[in-house]
């Protein structure tokens, strides 16, 4: 009886694992066989890797993206494998999954595997930096006033507890140049400044800051530079060694189009010893997290979701097949098409028109009292899921088509009175 149960367990797991591999390999092979020269037909193939209906088209990548269908199915299938047999014997097959996923992601973002911790999201990664750096009363933190709350108000809480000073930097709606932005941040720094931290692409304006130049300014003064990359990872080509920041945070559920509750915290080699971990967990291998000299000490979070971690590696493979360069180019193409159409419709852009000064986040002005009405109508009448951060926010991604963008423009055009009221 014991033998038959074990044998049945192995067979059922093998069947489930084979199904996962078939779906995953099928998605990757389909994309790999297609050619970018196929034009819109290629992007139609990419769109078919997602299950959303045409009546509910996602265009709010700054908040949440749908995962690739094969990624979602891998999460479900691996979860079933775990739930079928939660023994350590069965779960041993996932021992190498986390390190493999970490290595794939690190290669894509221009980092070494031991510089990347797989955490749960950008918020957790930001919190590690906010709470992990050592400060003394009177120390100063320089932040962009458009930072996300987890890299903005979170510093106010830390400052209140430890007698620190938070200095917020405002930049023009459309800066004259990168140098102007860097100068504004540089003027906010002094010999008491311990960290400069900013969101690379704003979720409330769409403005993209010159991360590499800001990092160079900060590090040249011996100041830690932390970048919130929630709107960058998955949307643009990243080379964190080239960027030169000390730490970087991102979430897989946004532009990376991956599993939920998985994120990254990059900590540049040599910087981890100066940052305290927020959570001390146990992995069976790492006994004293404080002794670690790299980013892995920020990864001991207790029980992890093996399925989500496994699916992160699958997501990275799909990004490789499409290519980060092609993804960034497509997002810029759709965002530029959207901006031009919205402007022609009479809308006032909050986001700079120049693609070099923005990413995939596109925002137009809408009176505050009308924002919810406009966003609701975009969804109910035009099947476009948008947001109301900073105005009406529309964030096209590679699963969107040019037809989706034109439908969004049509929706805005039909509500000119509400947008201009």
CA distance 271 to 137: 22
Element (H, E) at 76: helix 69-84
pLDDT for position 118: 96
CA distance 39 to 102: 32
Alpha helices (runs of H) in 345-383, residue ranges in sequence order: 368-382
Of 276, 277, 271, 278, the C-alpha closest to 294 is 271
* Range 324-420: architecture per CATH: Alpha-Beta Complex (3.90)
Q: Residues 6 or more apart from 331 whose CB is under 8 A from it? A: 235, 236, 359, 360, 396, 397, 398
- Residue 133 contacts residue 193 (beta carbons within 8 Å): no
pLDDT for position 293: 85
pLDDT for position 374: 98
Task: Classify residue 292 as exposed, middle or buried by CB count within 10 Å of its CB (0-12, 13-18, 19+).
Answer: middle
Half-sphere exposure of residue 189: CA atoms within 13 angstroms, side-chain side? 23
Instruction: Specify the pTM.
Output: 0.91
Same fold, 97-319 and 324-420: no
Quick one: tokens of 285? Answer: 């291998």
pLDDT for position 12: 47
- Residue 248 contacts residue 227 (beta carbons within 8 Å): yes
- Residue 24 contacts residue 70 (beta carbons within 8 Å): yes
Quick one: tokens of 110? Answer: 């221009």
Per-position DSSP letters for 232-246, written without gaps between them: TBTTB---HHHHT-S
pLDDT for position 8: 43
Taking the domains of the chain in order of start, what are their residue ranges? 97-319, 324-420
Please state whether 393 falls in left (phi above 0), alpha (psi between -120 and 50) or beta. beta
CA distance 61 to 66: 9
Of 208, 174, 168, 207, the C-alpha closest to 188 is 168
Of 179, 195, 182, the C-alpha closest to 143 is 195
pLDDT tens for the 421 residues of the chain, in order: 333 334 344 334 444 444 444 545 555 556 766 665 668 999 999 999 999 999 999 999 999 999 999 999 999 999 999 999 999 999 988 888 999 999 999 999 999 999 999 999 999 999 999 999 999 999 999 999 999 999 999 999 999 999 999 999 999 999 999 999 999 999 999 999 999 999 999 999 999 999 999 999 999 999 999 999 999 999 999 999 999 999 999 999 999 999 999 999 999 999 999 999 998 876 665 555 566 789 999 998 888 899 999 999 999 999 999 999 999 999 999 999 999 999 999 999 999 999 999 999 999 999 999 999 999 999 999 999 999 999 999 999 999 999 999 999 999 999 999 998 6
Say how far residue 275 (Cα) sits from the centre of its chain: 22
pLDDT for position 38: 67
pLDDT for position 301: 84
CATH of domain 97-319: 3.40.640.10
State the virtual CA torsion across 308, 270, 183, 161 in degrees, nearest 10.
Answer: 70
- Residue 411 contacts residue 382 (beta carbons within 8 Å): yes
């Amino acid at each position: 009886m014991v033998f038959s149960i074990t044998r049945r367990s192995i067979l059922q797991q093998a069947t489930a694992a084979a199904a996962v591999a078939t779906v995953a390999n099928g998605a990757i092979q389909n994309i790999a066989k297609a050619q970018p020269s196929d034009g819109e037909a290629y992007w139609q193939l990419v769109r078919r890797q997602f299950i959303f209906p045409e009546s509910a088209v996602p265009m709010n990548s700054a908040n949440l993206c749908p995962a690739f269908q094969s990624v979602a199915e891998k999460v479900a299938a691996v979860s079933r494998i775990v739930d079928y047999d939660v023994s350590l014997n069965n779960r041993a097959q996932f021992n190498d999954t986390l390190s493999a996923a970490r290595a794939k992601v690190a290669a894509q973002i221009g980092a070494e595997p031991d510089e990347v911790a797989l955490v749960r999201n950008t918020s957790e990664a930001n919190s590690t930096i906010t709470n992990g750096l050592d400060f003394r009363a009177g120390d100063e933190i320089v932040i962009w006033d458009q930072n996300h709350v987890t890299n903005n108000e979170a510093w106010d809480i830390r400052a209140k507890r430890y007698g620190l000073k938070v200095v917020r930097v405002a930049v023009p709606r459309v800066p004259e140049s990168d140098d102007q932005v860097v100068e504004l941040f540089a003027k906010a720094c002094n010999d008491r400044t311990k960290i400069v931290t900013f969101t690379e692409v704003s979720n409330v304006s769409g403005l993209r800051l010159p991360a590499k130049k800001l990092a160079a300014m900060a590090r040249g003064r011996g100041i830690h530079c932390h970048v919130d990359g929630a709107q960058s990872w998955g949307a643009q080509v990243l080379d964190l060694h080239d960027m030169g920041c000390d730490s970087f945070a991102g979430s897989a559920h946004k532009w990376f189009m991956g599993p939920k509750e998985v994120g990254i915290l990059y900590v540049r080699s040599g910087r981890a010893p100066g940052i305290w971990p927020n959570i001390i967990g146990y992995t069976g291998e790492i006994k004293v997290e404080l002794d670690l000299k790299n980013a892995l000490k920020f990864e001991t979070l207790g029980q992890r979701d093996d399925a989500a971690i496994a699916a992160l590696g699958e997501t990275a493979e799909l990004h490789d097949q499409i290519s980060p360069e092609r993804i960034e180019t497509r997002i810029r193409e759709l965002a530029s098409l959207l901006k031009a159409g919205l402007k022609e419709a009479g809308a006032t852009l909050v986001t700079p028109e120049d693609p070099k000064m923005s990413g995939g986040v596109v925002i137009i002005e809408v009176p505050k009292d009308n924002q919810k009405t406009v966003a609701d109508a975009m969804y109910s009448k035009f099947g476009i899921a948008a947001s109301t951060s900073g105005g009406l926010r529309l964030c096209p991604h590679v699963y969107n088509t040019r037809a989706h963008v034109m439908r969004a423009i049509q929706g805005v055009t039909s509500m000119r009175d509400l947008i201009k009221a």
